[in-house]
């Protein structure tokens, strides 16, 4: 019987993505309702089968690359393809070895605090984050399917040949190759017939599942970042009502209207002549000296109750203090979540950037050989756009996290902190201290994930391309 | 019960340096000082002979590169041992600081942190030592394979012609003994600043653990209990601040003592790695020469990585400490706690960065930058050779 699995926190929000990851063959065995031995074994067999099929095909592509390593053009093209699919293998292995860390990050938000005053705002931002995560998932799934379809369509255009350089005449000859999306070595003949159909279907499966493996893991990472950003938005939104609450905790509350009324009348009486440099003429009333603000008995103070000048009961004071506690605990929780995300996914980002850098360098070289609107141009530009798109995907969300986390300070400053109690003011001060250092995700501390990273990668590709064009 | 921290972090270093009479050399008796001077002379002589040979064969690129595989390493070793001995005073002060009261381990967890960090740095140094000894042994074995040609392991200027024995055996022994001494001295002197940086990391982790002990105060506590809890939390925070200040002073003193050493080493690394790469490109890929060059490359890369990794660990711990301060239940404490917290967090905004030569920060991006630099010099050299 399929009972609904009880989930909470991030797992509930990310359930569609988790199910897709399980379907694609990642070694994700938690979050099932039915954990009987038979079903677990079936799931493990399913994931292992996918892993074996994908790795076997990858090795076939590797063998093909080794076979044609003497031809420069073929070698470059095959290296790019092999590196392109290295992402999937690396992410598959990374998840398999690091699944505990993923489960821990997914469980970070299982117990979150709540406060009666702020539940409505919390729910609203949670809903926004949910819808953003869904939209991202649909978009990435759509792009993956579109890429597979366009790859397969492109296979049917152009000549399906290999470029071989003839040693004697030193010109490039063409050798017929099977019309398949990927160049790989198979132990059976694939030029036509049953072998061809089998290889074609195997390659479509490989394309779809390996791209899905890599992209879905990135989607989980970006969904975590979306969640963290919306939590920070929620915290920024409740800062103002929080400050107004804690302004009621004051021991002294200036009667601000009185303050402004008194000073304006006095000032008009005391405007001096331009030549009159006698300061005593300007600073004569007690109010100008600022003495009445903190002294006893000035007309600007309001003392109409013994303990609590504004008539707050002990219960209201507790409410205000608990609101500050909610805010601080929620912010600390977000900091812990971001730290956990960085620990979990940082190394995967490092590998991704390493492989992408080499791929993009080779693609810049390939791009210099484009000589018209043909299959070669489309495939090179397709590879470029896809690789840059993958890097852009996580850079933009990393950048948003940096911006959101450092803008909390502006929100803290823009509320009426000056009306608050001493306690509220030190609270604002410590929060500003913490938020001056933005929360960043780093690739094993080698680099920070932000739009700067994307800009430097893009700049490097364009530079190599320009230099290579000049050298031709 | 754990022994004292100096022994924990520096026992292997102490035994290596004691063997060469360089540990706290000014306090040793005269015969040991003479022994130490003799060891230093062997190293300097080797360096001078190398320079003479290179000047002789200047112009032939392959010859110069073969002769200079050890030039920069040897120059580093000479500079290191000279600088280490001349800064023995600072070294003794640092040793005293390690044993001081402020850095004592107060609980079992603190001791465990110290032991773990000490183990990590000792493992790293051991890996480096094994690599270095393997490389030296490979170099020793290469001439032995072809004993009839009477080739010496390294091409340096020898004061007497080494065509016949016993001159050949003497020259061979001299070269190999000097190189082994040089490898051990390299590791011995290197592990001193590295161990001190890791000690700083351990202390920062201890502070993080202590901050975790700040007690949370429920909102409805009795006034008497409340005051006692607030007081104890405040005392704890002040103690942590004092310890942090001591760690910063300790690292500053370490930097002042060893920054020139490390700077020389890092700048030398660029040239060393570029040269090794060049040699690997020249030498035939199936010979023992190739493998000895490969192990040498691994040795130098691991040494460079050690520095950058240790320096970055320190910076990372400092940043984690700032996070841990924020994670404490500060919003339940009184005003004096918060004010101390604000000033401390303000100070910690400036990370603890260990700078070699007061200029190059030791961090992982530095490692990548040095590799990039070496690769571009290597590419240029290769291009020149192919023309």
* pLDDT tens-place string over residues B36-62: 888 888 889 888 888 888 888 888 777
Residue of A nearest to B312 (CA): A445
Average pLDDT over residues A226-246: 91
Residue A174 gets which letter from DSSP?
E
Where is average pLDDT lowest: A361-365, A398-402, B274-278?
Answer: B274-278
> Under an 8 A CB cutoff, do A445 and B332 touch?
no
Q: How many residues does chain B have?
A: 387
* A424, A417 contact by CB (below 8 A): yes
Q: Enumerate the residues of chain A whose CB falls inside 8 A of the CB of residue B345.
A: 430, 433-434
Tell if the CB–CB gap between B219 and A325 is shorter than 8 Å: yes
List own/partner pairs for A305-314 with CB under 8 A and 24 or more apart.
A309/A250, A309/A251, A309/A252, A309/A253, A310/A248, A310/A250, A310/A253, A312/A248, A312/A249
Substitution target in A249, A324, A326, A430 with the highest count of B β-carbons within 10 Å is A430
- Confidence check: pLDDT of B220 > 90: no
Instruction: Residue window 169-228, chain A: list those with CB within 8 Å of chain B.
Output: none
pTM: 0.83
Cβ of A447 within 8 Å of Cβ of B365? The answer is yes
What Rg do the C-alpha atoms of chain B give, in angstroms? Answer: 25
Q: What pLDDT score does B5 carry? A: 81
Interface test with A, best of B310, B321, B331, B375 (most A CBs within 10 A): B331
Pick from A325, A429, A445: which is nearest to B316 by CB? A445
Chain A residue numbers touching B327 (CB-CB < 8 A) = 332, 335-336
Residue in chain B lying closest to A445 (CA) = B364
What is the reported pLDDT for A161? Answer: 72
At B90, list the tokens.
Answer: 């600072």
**Residue A433 to residue B338, Cβ atoms within 8 A:** no
3-state SS, residue B213: coil
Out of A127-131, B87-91, B217-221, B314-318, least confident range:
B217-221
* Cα nearest neighbour of A317 on chain B: B219
User: How far apart are the C-alpha atoms of A385 and A379, rounded to whole Å?
Assistant: 10
CB burial class (10 A; 0-12, 13-18, 19+) of residue A256? exposed
| DSSP-derived 3-state class of residue A307 | coil
CA distances from B279 to A52, B68, B273 (A): 41, 10, 10
Residue A306: per-residue pLDDT: 43
> pLDDT tier at A319 (50, 70, 90 boundaries)?
confident
Would you call B364 and A328 a contact, using CB atoms and an 8 Å cutoff?
no
How many domains are there within chain A?
Answer: 1
Residue A433 in contact with partner chain B when CB distance is under 8 A: yes
Residues 6+ apart with CB under 8 A from A122: A114, A234
**CA B142 from centroid of its chain's CA atoms:** 30
Q: Per the domain annotation, does A293 fall within a domain?
A: no
Spatial contact of A342 and A442, defined as CB atoms under 8 Å apart: yes
- CB within 8 Å: B365 and A446: yes
Whether A432 has its CB under 8 Å from any CB of chain B: the answer is no
Task: Choose between A93 and A305: higher pLDDT.
Answer: A93
CA distance A425 to A409: 13
Q: Which of B312, B326, B345 sits opposite A445 (nearest CB)?
A: B312
Is the predicted pLDDT of residue A363 greater than 50, yes or no? yes
Token match 């030190």: residue? A426
Per-residue confidence band for A313, with pLDDT thresholds at 50, 70 and 90: low
Closest alpha carbon within chain A to B319:
A437
Residues B283-311 have a mean pLDDT of 87
How would residue A271 be classed by pLDDT, with cut points 50, 70 and 90? very low
Instruction: Provide the shortest C-alpha distance from residue B32 to chain A (in Å).
Output: 46
Quick one: closest CA in B to A431, which residue? Answer: B326
| Chain B CA closest to residue A323 | B331
A445, A460, A464, A467, best to mutate vs chain B, most B CBs in 10 Å = A445
Q: What is the pLDDT of residue A298?
A: 40
Q: Does B339 touch chain A (CB under 8 A)?
A: yes
Q: What is the pLDDT of residue A167?
A: 66
pLDDT in tens, B247-264: 999 999 999 999 998 999
Q: Residue B120: enclosing H or E segment and its boundaries?
A: helix B108-145
Considering Cα of B295, then B296, then B299, then B305, what sign does the dihedral take? negative
- Tell whether B376 lies on the interface with A, counting CB pairs under 8 A: no
pLDDT digits (tens, 9 = 90+) for B125-171: 899 999 999 988 988 888 887 777 777 777 777 777 766 777 778 88
DSSP conformation class of B57: T
Mean pLDDT of chain B: 87
A237 or A301, greater pLDDT: A237
- Helix axis angle, A451-471 relative to A375-414, nearest 10°? 150
Contact assignment for A335 to B365 by CB distance below 8 Å: no
C-alpha B32: how far from chain center: 26
DSSP codes, B11-44? HHHHHHHHHTT-TTGGGS-HHHHHHHHHHHHHHH
> Which residues, at least 6 apart from A251, have a Cβ–Cβ distance to it below 8 Å?
A309, A421
A251 reaches B (C-beta below 8 A): no
Least confident piece of the model among A270-284, A329-343, B300-314, B361-375: A270-284
Q: B175, exposed or middle or buried, with CB in 10 Å at 0-12, 13-18, 19+?
A: buried
pLDDT, tens digit, for every residue of A163-191?
776 666 677 777 777 888 888 888 888 77
B332, A423: Cβ pair inside 8 Å? no
Using the beta-carbon criterion (under 8 Å), do A429 and B342 form an inter-chain contact? yes
Pairs of residues, one from chain A and one from chain B, whose beta carbons lie less than 8 Å apart = 54
How far is B227 from B233, CA to CA, in rounded Å? 10
Question: Who has greater pLDDT, A357 or A270?
Answer: A357
- Whether this model's ipTM surpasses 0.95 comes out as no
Task: Give one DSSP letter per residue of A246-295, joined into a string.
Answer: HHTT-S----HHHHHHHHHHHHHHTPPPSS---GGGTS-STTTTTHHHHS
Measured CA distances, A247 to A331, A333, A409, A419, B331 (Å)? 21, 25, 19, 5, 16
Q: Give the count of beta carbons closer than 10 Å to the beta carbon of residue B53.
A: 20
The angle subtended at Cα B219 by Cα B218 and Cα B224, nearest 5°, is 80
The answer to whether A350 faces chain B, any CB pair under 8 Å, is: no
Is A318 an 8 Å CB contact of chain B? yes
pLDDT for B55-64, tens place per residue? 888 887 778 8
Contact list, B322 vs chain A (CB under 8 Å): 437
pLDDT at B333 > cutoff 70: yes
Residues of chain A neighbouring B332 (CB-CB closer than 8 A): 325
Minimum-distance CB partner of B364 among A423, A434, A445: A445
What are the chain A neighbours of B323 within 8 Å (beta carbons)?
A: 335, 339
Of chain A, the end-to-end C-alpha distance in Å amounts to 67
Nearest-angstrom CA–CA distance, B299 and B309 = 15
Give the residue among A241, A8, A246 at the shortest CA–CA distance from A108. A8
pLDDT at B59: 81
Q: Which domain holds residue A338?
A: 8-247+312-469
Percent of chain B at pLDDT > 90 equals 30
CA angle in degrees (0–180, nearest 5) for A59-A65-A71: 175
Contacts of A325 in chain B (CB under 8 A): 219, 331-332
Is A281 part of any domain? no
What is the band of A201 on the pLDDT scale with cuts at 50, 70, 90? very high
Q: Is B350 in the A-facing interface, judged by CB distances under 8 Å?
A: no
A289 band by pLDDT with thresholds 50, 70 and 90: very low
Asked if the model's pLDDT at residue B186 lies above 70, the reply is yes
Mean of the per-residue pLDDT values of chain A = 83
Higher pLDDT among residues A274 and B335, named by residue: B335
Q: Which of B319, B345, B364 sits opposite A446 (nearest CB)?
A: B364
Which residues in chain A are contacts of B342 at CB distance < 8 A? 426, 429-430, 433
pLDDT tens-digit map of A417-454: 887 777 888 889 999 989 998 999 999 898 999 999 99
DSSP codes joined into one string, A112-158:
----TTTHHHHHHHHHHHHHHHHHHHHHHHHHHHHHHHHHHHHHTSS
**SS3 call for B356:** strand
Q: How far is B363 from chain A (nearest CA, A)?
A: 9
Residue in the block written with tokens 């707050």: A312
**Which chain A residues have a beta carbon less than 8 Å from that of B219?**
318, 321-322, 325
CB half-sphere exposure, B120, CA atoms < 13 A: 18
Q: Is A107 on the interface with B (CB under 8 A)?
A: no
Residue ranges covered by each domain of chain B: 5-386
> Which residues of chain A make contact with B316, given a CB cutoff of 8 A?
445
A328 Cβ under 8 Å from any chain B Cβ: yes
């Amino acid at each position: 019987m399929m009972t609904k699995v009880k989930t909470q926190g991030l797992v509930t929000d990310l359930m569609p993505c988790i199910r897709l990851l399980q379907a694609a063959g990642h070694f994700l065995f938690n979050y099932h309702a039915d954990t009987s031995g038979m079903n677990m074994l079936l799931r493990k067999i399913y994931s292992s089968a996918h892993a074996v099929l994908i790795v076997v095909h990858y090795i076939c592509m590797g063998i093909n690359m080794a076979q044609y390593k003497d031809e420069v053009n073929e070698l470059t093209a095959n290296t790019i393809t092999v590196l392109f699919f290295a992402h999937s293998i690396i992410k598959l292995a990374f998840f398999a070895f690091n699944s505990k860390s993923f489960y821990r990050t997914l469980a970070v938000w299982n117990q979150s605090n709540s406060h009666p005053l702020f539940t409505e705002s919390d729910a609203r931002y949670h809903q926004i984050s949910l819808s953003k995560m869904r939209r991202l998932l649909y978009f990435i799934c759509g792009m993956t399917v579109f890429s597979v379809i366009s790859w397969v369509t492109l296979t049917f255009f152009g000549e399906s040949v290999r470029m071989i350089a003839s040693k004697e005449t030193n010109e490039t000859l063409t050798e017929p190759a099977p019309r398949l999306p990927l160049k790989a070595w198979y132990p059976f003949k694939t030029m036509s017939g049953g072998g061809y159909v089998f290889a074609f279907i195997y390659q479509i499966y490989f394309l779809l599942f390996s791209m899905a493996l890599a992209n879905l893991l990135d989607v989980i990472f970006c969904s975590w970042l979306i969640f963290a950003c919306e939590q920070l938005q929620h915290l920024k939104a409740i800062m103002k009502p929080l400050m107004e609450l804690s302004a009621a905790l004051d021991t002294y509350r200036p009667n601000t209207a009185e303050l402004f009324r008194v000073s304006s009348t006095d000032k008009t009486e005391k405007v001096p002549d331009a030549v009159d440099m006698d300061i005593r003429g300007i600073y004569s009333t007690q109010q100008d000296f600022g003495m009445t603000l903190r002294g006893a008995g000035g007309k600007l103070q309001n003392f109409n109750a013994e303990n609590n000048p504004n008539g707050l009961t002990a219960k209201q004071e507790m409410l205000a203090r608990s609101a500050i506690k909610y805010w601080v605990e929620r912010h600390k929780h977000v900091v812990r979540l971001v730290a956990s995300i960085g620990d979990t996914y940082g190394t995967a980002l490092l590998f991704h950037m390493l492989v992408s850098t080499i791929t993009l360098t080779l693609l810049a070289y390939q791009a210099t050989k484009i000589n018209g609107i043909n299959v070669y141009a489309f495939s090179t530009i397709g590879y470029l756009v896809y690789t840059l798109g993958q890097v852009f995907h996580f850079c933009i969300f990393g950048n948003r996290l940096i911006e959101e986390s450092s803008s909390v300070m502006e929100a803290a400053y823009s509320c009426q902190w000056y009306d608050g109690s001493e306690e509220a003011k030190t609270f604002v001060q410590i929060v500003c201290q913490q938020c001056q250092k933005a929360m960043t995700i780093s690739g094993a501390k080698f680099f920070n994930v932000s739009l700067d990273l994307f800009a430097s990668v893009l700049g490097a590709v364009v530079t190599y391309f320009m230099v290579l064009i000049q050298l031709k | 019960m754990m022994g004292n921290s100096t022994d924990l972090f520096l026992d292997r270093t102490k035994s290596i340096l004691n063997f060469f009479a360089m540990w706290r050399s000014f306090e040793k008796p005269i015969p040991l000082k003479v022994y130490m001077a003799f060891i230093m002379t062997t190293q300097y002589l080797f360096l001078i002979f190398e320079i003479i040979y290179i000047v002789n064969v200047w112009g032939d690129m392959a010859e110069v590169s073969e002769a200079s595989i050890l030039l920069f390493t040897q120059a580093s070793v000479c500079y290191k041992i000279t600088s280490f001995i001349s800064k023995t005073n600072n070294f003794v002060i640092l040793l005293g600081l390690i044993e001081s009261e402020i850095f004592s381990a107060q609980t079992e967890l603190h001791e465990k942190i110290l032991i773990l960090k000490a183990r990590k740095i000792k493992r790293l140094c051991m890996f480096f030592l094994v690599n270095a000894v393997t490389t030296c042994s490979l170099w020793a074995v290469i001439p032995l394979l072809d004993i009839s040609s009477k080739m010496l392991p390294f091409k340096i200027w020898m004061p007497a012609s080494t065509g016949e024995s016993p001159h050949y055996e003497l020259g061979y022994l001299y070269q190999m003994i000097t190189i082994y001494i040089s490898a051990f001295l390299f590791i011995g002197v290197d592990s001193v600043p590295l161990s001190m940086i890791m000690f700083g990391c351990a202390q920062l982790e201890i502070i993080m653990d202590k901050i975790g002990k700040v007690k949370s105060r429920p909102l409805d506590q009795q006034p008497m209990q409340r005051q006692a809890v607030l007081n104890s939390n405040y005392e704890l925070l002040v103690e942590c601040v004092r310890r942090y200040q001591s760690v910063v002073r300790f690292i500053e003193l370490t930097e002042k003592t060893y920054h020139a050493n490390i700077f020389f080493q890092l700048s030398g690394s660029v040239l060393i790695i570029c040269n090794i790469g060049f040699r690997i490109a020249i030498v035939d890929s199936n010979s023992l020469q190739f493998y000895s060059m490969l192990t040498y490359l691994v040795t130098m890369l691991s040494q460079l990585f050690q520095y950058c990794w240790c320096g970055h660990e320190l910076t990372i711990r400092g940043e984690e400490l700032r996070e841990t301060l924020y994670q404490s239940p500060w919003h339940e404490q009184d005003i004096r706690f918060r004010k101390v917290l604000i000033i401390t967090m303000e100070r910690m905004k400036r990370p603890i960065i260990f700078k070699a030569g007061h200029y190059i920060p030791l961090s992982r991006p530095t490692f990548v930058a040095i590799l990039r630099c070496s690769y571009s010099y290597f590419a240029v050299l290769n291009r020149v050779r192919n023309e």
